[in-house]
Amino acid sequence: MSAGRAAALALLAWLASAAGASASDGTRGPDPGPAPLALLHVVDRGHGTEAWAENLLAGPIEVVLRATGAVPAAQPALPARATVPARGRVLVAHIARADAELLLDVVPGHPGARPREVEYAWPLGTRALDVGQAWGGSFSHGDDENRHAVDFAVPEGTPVLAARDGVVMQAEGRFGGGGLRSADGMARANFIRILHEDGTMAVYAHLAPGGVQVRAGERVRRGQRIGTSGSTGYSGGPHLHFVLQANRGMRLVSLPFRMSGPGGILRFSDASPGPGP
């Protein structure tokens, strides 16, 4: 097996993972889909094979390397887990067989995140407040990643502001369409993921075509304009999907948050717990 061969990436959840793998030379097909989070490099050293995970994000990720067929001897044994720093590479495992079929599961964020009590700023450049769907909304807020998400209905083109200081971890702004025709559209929403100092991550989703106004790795301040609202991806109309997330050991979960709104502190009823992992 040649050095640097990229294996497929396993997908976990929309906005949590990449739809498809990229070759290690960066080539993509005619429909690129969402950008990958990481690359798996399987390198034959002649005296053994190494599996390396390369993080493409400007923030940490957690990965699990596993075999899709017969499980080869490996050190550590498969499935093997590792945390990869921002834009870094980590040796995940030594593999006994160069022909092993491997898959890399990827989740953004460090599993050791320790959320702090923070009051988040109003994330929109408008004084109008219209909540289309709040915590535990039956339409699309029933899964772990989105149970504590809020959809703020606003006209397309409304300025989107950072609710907290942080570093842009992901910025996906290449998509132009939206609607409810297919659940595949969930992975084709323009969004920004901002990493906070306590390891939590805020996601601002369904941004307009060309509505991402920051770059991965950029440090942003609370109240700074970062984008423009829209209706890309799986969306029934223009709105901002805002959710606070943390990695809880290869599983993204949404977190309750406190936010100031145009008229004071916003009050959301706690969402009903979903099924266990």
Q: What is the pTM of this model?
A: 0.85
CA distance 29 to 52: 23
The answer to whether 143 touches 149, Cβ cutoff 8 Å, is no
pLDDT value at residue 1: 32
The tokens describing 165, both together, are 């200081």
Ordered by where they begin, the domains of the chain are 5-108 (2.60.40), 119-265 (2.70.70.10)
Integer Cα distance of 130 and 147 in angstroms: 19
How confident is the model at residue 96, as a pLDDT? Answer: 93
Tens digit of each residue's pLDDT, the chain (277 residues): 333 332 222 222 233 333 333 334 333 445 567 889 999 999 998 778 999 999 999 999 999 999 999 999 999 999 999 999 999 999 999 999 888 999 999 999 999 999 999 999 999 999 988 876 766 545 555 566 778 889 899 999 999 999 999 999 999 999 887 776 655 566 788 999 999 999 999 999 999 999 999 999 999 999 999 999 999 987 778 899 999 999 999 999 999 999 999 989 988 776 554 433 2
Tell me, what's the pLDDT at 235? 78
- For residue 65, list its beta bridge partners: 80, 104
Three-state SS at 265: strand
Structure tokens at 46: 């002649």
The two structure tokens encoding residue 151: 């959809």
